[in-house]
């Protein structure tokens, strides 16, 4: 992959958020509708995590949110960001801060 400059990276807004609600997407079997608290605001996300996590495994967890991703409508539901996950060999894990950091903390 081509290299990215530090200046380009600075345009990205990744934040520590907390999952407040986990609901089934009404029109897609593999998707959740999540409500996530970013401290400054709460957002709704559509996340393809249903095959990998039960709702109770996500609820209240601290996650990393790509907060200035262009919003999209996914099967009729607004998605205002993305939860960063690691994936290899069909194993999927969300990312989390190793220490307790305040909600809304910026990723640098």
Query: Please, what is the minimum distance in Å from the beta carbon of residue 7 to a copy of itself?
Result: 9
Contact 75, 27 (CB under 8 A): yes
Of the candidate residues 42, 61, 74, 77, the single one contacting a copy of itself (CB under 8 A): 61
Question: In the bound complex, what is the minimum distance in angstroms from residue 89's beta carbon to a copy of itself?
Answer: 6
Contact call for residues 67 and 12 (beta carbons, < 8 A) = no
Phi and psi angles of residue 36, each rounded to the nearest 5 degrees, phi first: -125, 135
Q: Does 70 engage in binding with a copy of itself (CB under 8 A)?
A: yes
Residue 56 interacts with a copy of itself (CB under 8 A)?
no
Q: Which class for 42: exposed (0-12), middle (13-18), buried (19 or more C-beta within 10 A)?
A: middle
Indicate which single residue of 26, 44, 68, 77 sits in contact with a copy of itself (rule: CB under 8 A).
68
Residues in contact with a copy of itself by CB under 8 A are 1-6, 9, 11-14, 16, 61, 64, 66, 68-72, 82, 84-89, 91-102, 104-108
């Amino acid at each position: 992959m081509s290299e990215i400059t530090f200046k380009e990276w600075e345009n990205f807004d990744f934040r520590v958020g907390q999952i407040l609600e986990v609901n089934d997407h009404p029109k897609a079997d593999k998707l959740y509708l999540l409500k996530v608290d970013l401290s400054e605001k709460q957002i709704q996300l559509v996340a393809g995590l249903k095959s990998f996590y039960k709702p109770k495994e996500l609820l209240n967890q601290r996650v990393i949110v790509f907060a200035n991703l262009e919003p999209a409508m996914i099967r009729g539901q607004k998605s205002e960001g993305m939860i960063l996950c690691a994936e290899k060999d069909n194993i999927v894990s969300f990312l989390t801060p190793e220490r307790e950091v305040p909600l809304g903390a910026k990723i640098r």
